Structure 1
Amino acid sequence: MLKKGSKVFLFAIILVGAAFVLGACSNASSSSDDTLQVWTMSDELEGFVEDYEAEHDIEIEVQTIPWENAHDKLLTAVASGKGPDVLQIGTTWVAEFAEAGAFYDMSEDIGDYENLDLNNFFEGARGTAEYDDQVIGIPWYVDTRALFYRTDILEEVGYPDGPQTWDEMIDASQKLADRGDGQYAIDLPRTDPQFPFMLGWQQGWTYEVGEGSANFDDPAFKDAVDIYTTFYEEGYSQLEEGKEIIQAFSDGSKPMFFSGPWDIKTIKDNGEDIEGKWDVALMPEGETNKSMMGGAHLSIFHNSEKVDEALDFINWMADTDTQLAWYETMSELPANQAAWEDPILADDPMVSTFGEQLKSTEPLPLIPEYERMGNELLDTLEQIYRGGADTDEALANYRKEVDDILSE
């Protein structure tokens, strides 16, 4: 029996509420025998699957959902039991929806499909494809973060290949900020809850599920917080809202930033004046140089009546050639490691840097409360670097907040 105040009870209330607010979704079981329903947050999938439809004499009914609406729509589907056959799931949502029973367990099926062997994929991606000893998704595309930097400007301060360690990053940042008013070193991602976790991993910190708030009592985590806040306290990063990052990168006022592979194309399309004057480097190293492992999986909704068809479709989507074709379509990086041997990736030095970084990644904490904990951490960091709060006191308060979040 559910107890009021338990996480399960609260999640059930949320699910029912979402169902009333948003209404019921289409039911996969009501689709015709020759139709497979797929929900995705990725544009272009509808046209992309036409070859599969022709080869397999089946209609893939694609519904594209904006990311900002996807979470609530999935909540509604779980509450009503009416969802698609196949759905895209962001890696940070895996724990929440797996705990709610949203996914079909593929553990006993994947051995029958060549492309569904989890060993085909990057280790970090495999870490978010399994939950509670179940295989709840197959990696589709992956995402991580690396360092974008101006080679010409960093060469002027002694780092033509970019800073390789956090000690070098701080040294380079001081020299870059000393160039004068309006000149900074790097634009840090202040609204991204993933970045503080990455910085923690790089200082030797790990998050152990089950340890709760004690994870944030590790001196290595405090080291990460001290590094993060130093960039604002010393003026290496701009505290106020400044120029759009690509503009600041192009004019040199912020010659470094951390981002994902999509910004390679963004800079090439909008930074004609700096062609040949920028590059991508691996994350700076402390104890490690680990970055985050993000991306998306393809999962099967728990009550789909077309499991065999869904497995076959996901097997096709996980194929090396298919993932390469998707990369050419959307610039989203293949999760299948074999795809990285293809010249389209291997011969592109910037993209291959992301491929190298993907070998040194960590999945974000696979717990339903991760996003709330991450956003609360951003608030705590702002209290330190903007409000002048004592670091030890702020972290002690944060640990209390984490206790409250995990006990709900």
Structure 2
Amino acid sequence: MGKKRIGLIAGVMLAVMLVLGACSSDSSGEGSDDNTIKVWTMSKALKGFVKDYEKESGVKVDVQVIPWENAHDKLLTAVASGKGPDVLQIGTTWVAEFAEAGTFLDLSDHIKDYDNLSPDNFYDSAIETTQYKDQTIGIPWYVDTRLLYYRKDILGEVGYPNGPETWDDMIDASEKLAARGDGQYALDMPATDPQFPFMLAWQQGWDYDIDKGAENFKEPSFKEAVKLHHLYYKEGYSQTGEGKEFFQSFSDGSKPMFFSGPWDIKTLKDRAPEIDGKWDVHVMPKAENNKSMIGGAHLAVFNNSDKVDKSLDFINWMADPETQVEWFKTNSELPANKASWDDPALADDPKVSTFGEQLESTQALPLIPEYERLGQELLKTLEQINRGGADVDKAIKDYQSKAEKILN
């Protein structure tokens, strides 16, 4: 057993001692009959949504909703105790950590038995996030990605009524927007999103090679992404500090662009109805490419489940194109099954269909257990550059050293 795995398991056991008292000891097969499967999810809407499946299949689905802030510790406890659900939701950025700990049943030999579970049904980048060391740890449930939200009226005033196509366009538009006067900016930069800097780097032609480790961060294309990020603060295109809530600054025009996921379509309709018709979404601006991240969640079978067939039948139902469309209508989360995108509910909505277009140009985040720590450390580095005035070259070099310690 490698040092990394030993360290992870030790961490799991420590977490169990810390959180066992706060978490229930649910286990498949305990407290439920043979016709019930237990599902752990972070989506409240799933409780009512599964009633159709129960009617169709005759199987009872016992849904337990776990708040996101508690989910990580709850899963750690389940892994160490061996007492968990039959089916569990797993976020894409947690795949490597929990797969390394042996959380999931390998589905590789089961997929062929279910029509809706074929990898061909899903986006390639979504499937990539279900693969770990030659195992299939889950099936894509829903996906998300990031786009540019922009004010059509305000961007039109600086020459981009249909949105910037490239990063050169973005910089040109941003310079003009920031020149409007005090308190006027161009972009509400996602300063707390650890995924965004990696997206910027991909667009500059960078990629993370697992075999290179911290050496990846010596690539010139990675530095270009850091410099681009810093440019927005150095030139005043983005505000240093939080300022107003994003929908307020988008509504009043002081920050007429931001990057976000599909959920903010509804947020803007609800929180800023006064600008309805004045805003739109655009695929990511292009440098070497216009790649965005692939996010979302998978449905997996817990390694100790004794109801594998029933669990997979439920996941097969959740992956059906019609079910995926109904889940989108229920919870505004984008279908992972590509066939669902032909449905008018998605195809006839220009904003939603633009997300579908971007999903064709997405990339999986590094599937390594240390990813979240690398991302958080990178945010600290950018903060030192953008607000603390740190030298870019020195800050990147320091980050490389920290990344090496994290990875080792």
- When normalised by structure 1's length, the TM-score is 0.98
User: Which 5+ residue runs of structure 2 have no aligned equivalent?
Assistant: none
Corresponding residue for 2:171? 170
Distance in 1, matches of 2:273 and 2:9, equals 52
* CA shift for structure 1 position 351: 0.3
Distance in 1, matches of 2:271 and 2:12, equals 43
| Structure 1 counterpart SS, 2:210 | coil
Distance in 2, matches of 1:376 and 1:327, equals 34
Aligned CA RMSD, in angstroms, stands at 0.9
| Structure 2 counterpart SS, 1:38 | strand
Distance in 1, matches of 2:286 and 2:383, equals 24
* CA shift for structure 1 position 241: 2.0
Corresponding residue for 1:19? 16
Distance in 1, matches of 2:16 and 2:398, equals 35
Is 1:378 aligned to 2:379, yes or no? Answer: yes
Distance in 2, matches of 1:346 and 1:331, equals 14
Runs of 4+ in 1 over 3 A off after TM superposition: none
- For residues 162-190 of structure 1, the C-alpha deviation after alignment (integer angstroms, 9 at most, x for no partner) is 11100110110000000000000010111
* CA shift for structure 1 position 22: 2.2
Is 1:196 aligned to 2:193, yes or no? Answer: no
| 309-318 or 387-396, which deviates more | 387-396
Corresponding residue for 1:187? 188
Which residue identity does 1:68 align to in structure 2?
E
* CA shift for structure 1 position 36: 0.2
Distance in 1, matches of 2:286 and 2:163, equals 12
Distance in 2, matches of 1:267 and 1:387, equals 33
- For residues 335-375 of structure 1, the C-alpha deviation after alignment (integer angstroms, 9 at most, x for no partner) is 00000011110010000000000000000000000000000
Distance in 1, matches of 2:388 and 2:376, equals 17
Corresponding residue for 2:84? 83
Corresponding residue for 2:328? 327
Matches within 5 A, 1:178-257: 178-257=179-258
* CA shift for structure 1 position 317: 0.3
* CA shift for structure 1 position 56: 1.2
Which residue identity does 2:65 align to in structure 1?
T
- For residues 309-351 of structure 1, the C-alpha deviation after alignment (integer angstroms, 9 at most, x for no partner) is 0110000000000000000000000000000011110010000
| Structure 2 counterpart SS, 1:147 | strand
* CA shift for structure 1 position 13: 2.2
Which residue identity does 2:17 align to in structure 1?
F
Corresponding residue for 1:9? 6
Which residue identity does 1:234 align to in structure 2?
E
* CA shift for structure 1 position 63: 0.3
Matches within 5 A, 1:379-394: 379-394=380-395
Corresponding residue for 1:52? 53
Distance in 2, matches of 1:357 and 1:401, equals 33
- For residues 212-247 of structure 1, the C-alpha deviation after alignment (integer angstroms, 9 at most, x for no partner) is 011111101110100000000110000022000000
Distance in 1, matches of 2:220 and 2:19, equals 45
Corresponding residue for 1:355? 356
| Structure 1 counterpart SS, 2:294 | strand
Corresponding residue for 1:258? 259
Corresponding residue for 2:308? 307
Which residue identity does 1:17 align to in structure 2?
L
| Structure 1 counterpart SS, 2:368 | coil
* CA shift for structure 1 position 84: 0.3
Matches within 5 A, 1:105-184: 105-184=106-185
Which residue identity does 1:16 align to in structure 2?
M
- For residues 75-106 of structure 1, the C-alpha deviation after alignment (integer angstroms, 9 at most, x for no partner) is 00001010000000000000000010000001
* CA shift for structure 1 position 21: 2.4
How many residues align structurally?
Answer: 404
| Structure 1 counterpart SS, 2:105 | coil
Distance in 2, matches of 1:304 and 1:240, equals 47
| Structure 1 counterpart SS, 2:378 | helix
| 26-35 or 301-310, which deviates more | 26-35
* CA shift for structure 1 position 118: 1.0
- For residues 28-65 of structure 1, the C-alpha deviation after alignment (integer angstroms, 9 at most, x for no partner) is 12231011000000111111000111111111000000
Distance in 2, matches of 1:53 and 1:316, equals 11
- For residues 231-280 of structure 1, the C-alpha deviation after alignment (integer angstroms, 9 at most, x for no partner) is 00110000022000000000000000000001111111122211111000
Distance in 2, matches of 1:183 and 1:172, equals 13
Distance in 1, matches of 2:71 and 2:227, equals 35
Distance in 2, matches of 1:401 and 1:270, equals 40
Distance in 1, matches of 2:294 and 2:312, equals 24
| Structure 1 counterpart SS, 2:29 | helix
| 201-210 or 268-277, which deviates more | 268-277
Which residue identity does 1:158 align to in structure 2?
G
| Structure 1 counterpart SS, 2:264 | helix
Distance in 1, matches of 2:15 and 2:396, equals 34
Distance in 1, matches of 2:314 and 2:89, equals 13
Distance in 2, matches of 1:182 and 1:51, equals 51
- For residues 1-39 of structure 1, the C-alpha deviation after alignment (integer angstroms, 9 at most, x for no partner) is 67xxx3223222221122222225211122310110000
| Structure 1 counterpart SS, 2:150 | strand
| Structure 2 counterpart SS, 1:241 | coil
